[in-house]
Amino acid sequence: QPLYIADGHHRYESALAYQREKRACSSLASEDEAFNFVMMTLVDFSDPGLIILPPHRLVRGISKSILNGLMAKLRVFFEIEELPLSVPSVWQQVDDLLMETNEIRLFLFGLAEHLLALRLRDFTTASQMMPYFHSELYKRLDVSIADHIILEKLLGLSSGREEARITYSYDRQDAVNRVLDQEYQLAFLLSPVKIEVVKAIADAGDRLPRKSTYFYPKLPAGLVFYRLV
C-alpha cells in the first residue's frame, strides 16, 4: 500500500541519501542497520479526524505604486465581485462560492474596504504562465493561481523566498484582522485542498505548492532521539 508524504519529503530524501552513503562505505552492512530505517507517523487518509486547513497568504512591503496598479492588473485575469464584510452572511457567501467546483476562485482583502471575490477568467492563459512541468491538477489549485499569477507575476514576489514579506494564517478572520490592524497590506484567502486532490497530484508525479496544506491536528510537541549509527 503506498505512503504519501504530507510533511517532511526533504527529510525523507536526506535519509535516502544517507542510506546510500552508508551502504557505499560497507558492502557487509546488515539490513537491520539503523540507516535503513526512518521514523515517521502514519495517518489513515480516511481518518474522520483528519482536517486540512488552507494557509492563507498575508503580504506586506508592497510599494504604493504597485499597490495602486494592482486592481487593474487583476481585472485582466479575474472577474471581481465585492462582498461587504459588514454583511453578517458574508462568510456563508464565501463558502457558497467555493462550492462551485467548476470555477477557480480565491478571495482578497486589503485593496478595498470590501472582500473581493476573484474568479479566474481563462485557465489556459493562467496555465501557460506557470512552470510547464506541473500537472493540470496543480495548476487548477487556487493556491497555485495565488502564488504563480498574483504573487510572482503581478507583485514580483516569491512565496518561497520572501519570508519577511509573506506569512501564513490558517484562520480567515485572523487574516482579515491582521490587514485591518495594518500589520499586513493584503490577505489572500484560499480554500482547503481536498484529500483526494492531494493524492491525485502525488499520483501524477507532482508535488503540491509550498505551504498549501496544514494538516490538523498536529502531533504533541516533544523531542525524540533516533540513533543513526
The predicted-structure confidence for 3-17, as pLDDT tens digits, reads as follows 998 888 888 999 999
Is 56 within 8 Å of 168 (Cβ atoms)?
A: yes
What is the chain's mean pLDDT, rounded? 90
Residue 175, classified by CB atoms within 10 Å of its CB into exposed (0-12), middle (13-18) or buried (19+), is: buried
- What is the per-residue pLDDT for 85? 86
Pick the CATH number of 51-214 from 3.30.365.10, 3.60.21.10, 3.30.1760.10, 2.160.10.10: 3.30.1760.10
Distance separating alpha carbons of residues 147 and 192, to the nearest angstrom: 15
Residue 171 has pLDDT above 70, yes or no: yes
Measure the N-to-C terminal CA separation of the chain; round to a whole number of Å: 29
Hey, where are the domains in the chain?
Answer: 9-42, 51-214
- What is the per-residue pLDDT for 73? 95
The predicted-structure confidence for 122-169, as pLDDT tens digits, reads as follows 999 999 999 999 999 999 999 999 999 999 999 988 766 677 899 999
Distance separating alpha carbons of residues 72 and 69, to the nearest angstrom: 6
226 compared with 15, residue with greater pLDDT: 15
